[in-house]
Chains A and B, each alone.
Chain A
């Protein structure tokens, strides 16, 4: 699964962004429904207003036509020409709603409404008290003036758009307000880490330096084993310290890019972690081609360290770690516990961990992600639960390389 391709400079974590997006989507959806409903009511009220304005004139036309029908009824069949008028069309229906005669241009008839729009016409219905020529229903038809329609549509679009925009701004404000407690708790944790990091440096450096300085050739095997454990524990804490240092200070400092021999760097980092890996009887399998990359050596070291460290941490005892380096990518595969596919996108979030049984702050992969994005590389995670995880870093092919 391809996790990230674009550089993300936002301070929001992906879970925070997800909450923001979901809330805003739902909010905007509800706002749109509200606006559509209000627009519909407004449109209907404008339509009724227009029809009310036309009712008077249509009623006058109907009176005129009734008078004409009365005359025709009286003289029928001597006169048989249906009365017509240049201002309107008309139709007559009998009590059984059967058409007697019609000059309507739009023949769709609605007996249930006195006045209504059909096509581009307005129909007005009048009940006749005396059924001249057998007509009980008289329909008068005139052309609809479309100006009201255009004006209403423009008003709906403009007012609706402005309403959605303003309510959207409010929504954004509210969602930030709601997310503030979550953000504050993250900031609190960040500050805590920042403060404790300063206190870690001196004791860790002292332990590691003294372990290195010890003359192991004169030590009893039992003490050697104890020293090895101290070394592993100190390196674990040292690794954590380096991650924390990067987190607190690293991303704030300028990158010092240089040509880095990745093959050599990986070898040295593997050697560094060998003691740690052996504590769980984990073996390394290296297939490293020659590769140089133009990057900040400290940052690429953080990437490698974190991937190897995780591969050890989440591996099984007597497991294996395979590291592959080619011209295009760098891959670390373990035979560990794996992770469910749906959890993969969230594993790069800060303070997220594979599982709670292992220690750590859950910041390692977040650092990896940030560095990868800074250098426009891609990272791909493939994992099968109880079989292992493979993480591949694809180098930016546009970047300088040898």
Chain B
């Protein structure tokens, strides 16, 4: 009796887990290019995307310069071009060259800028 009940519970959990996995996958597929291509890797890094944005802002200042430098780096990642610290680069290295199309890259960078831009957040 106990064995049967335990089996039913495990089967139920397994089915729930499968349904849950389907839901996350669908969510990622239906989200924007930034969510699909940036978040998955960066969520495992100690420095958040927001801090990286602030580093870009500190070096490149304006919207055009930030976006252009970001795109240039993503197309051809280079240690010398990176805004991250030596310590970070030693630990995590530099990313692989992006395989996003120009349009996708443009869209991702625009989303990134709009998400973390400081202008509308200062009070």
Contacts and interface: CB of A to CB of B under 8 A. Distances in A.
B57 A133 contact: yes
B107 interface: no
Contacts of B63: 94, 96, 98
Nearest to B116: A77
B122 interface: yes
Contacts of A76: 54, 118, 121
Task: Give chain A's interface secondary structure class.
Answer: loop
Contacts, number: 54
A95 B61 contact: yes
A100 interface: yes
B58 A131 contact: yes
B114 to A, nearest CB: 14
A82 interface: yes
B60 A95 contact: yes
Contact of A100 (B65, B66, B118, B123): B118
A77 B57 CA distance: 13
A80 interface: yes
Interface in B21-66: 50, 54, 57-66
A130 B64 CA distance: 17
Contacts of A94: 61-63
B119 A101 contact: yes
Contacts of B66: 134
Contacts of B58: 73, 130-132, 134
A98 B123 contact: no
A135 interface: yes
A80 B120 CA distance: 10
B123 A136 contact: no
A81 interface: yes
Contacts of A96: 61-65
B122 A131 contact: no
Q: How large is the interface on A (under 10, 10 to 19, 20 to 34, 35 or more residues)?
A: 10 to 19
Q: How large is the interface on B (under 10, 10 to 19, 20 to 34, 35 or more residues)?
A: 10 to 19
Contacts of A131: 57-61
Interface in A100-134: 100-101, 130-134
Nearest to A135: B61
A98 B119 CA distance: 10
A264 B122 CA distance: 105
Nearest to A132: B58
**Residue with the greatest number of chain B CB neighbours at <10 A, chosen from A81, A94, A98, A130:** A94
B60 to A, nearest CB: 7
A96 B8 CA distance: 65
A95 B62 contact: yes
B70 to A, nearest CB: 13
A69 to B, nearest CB: 10
Interface in B58-95: 58-66
A77 B61 contact: no
A3 B59 CA distance: 83
A98 B57 CA distance: 14
Contacts of A95: 60-62, 65
Given A95-B62, A131-B59, A80 B119 contact: no
28 contacts: A76-B54, A76-B118, A77-B50, A80-B122, A80-B123, A81-B122, A81-B123, A82-B122, A94-B61, A94-B62, A94-B63, A95-B60, A95-B65, A98-B62, A98-B63, A100-B118, A100-B122, A101-B122, A131-B57, A131-B59, A131-B60, A131-B61, A133-B57, A133-B122, A134-B61, A135-B61, A136-B61, A136-B62
Interface of B: 50, 54, 57-66, 118-119, 121-123
Interface of A: 73, 76-77, 80-82, 94-96, 98, 100-101, 130-136
Q: 3 shortest A-B CB distances, which residue pairs?
A: A96-B62, A95-B61, A131-B61
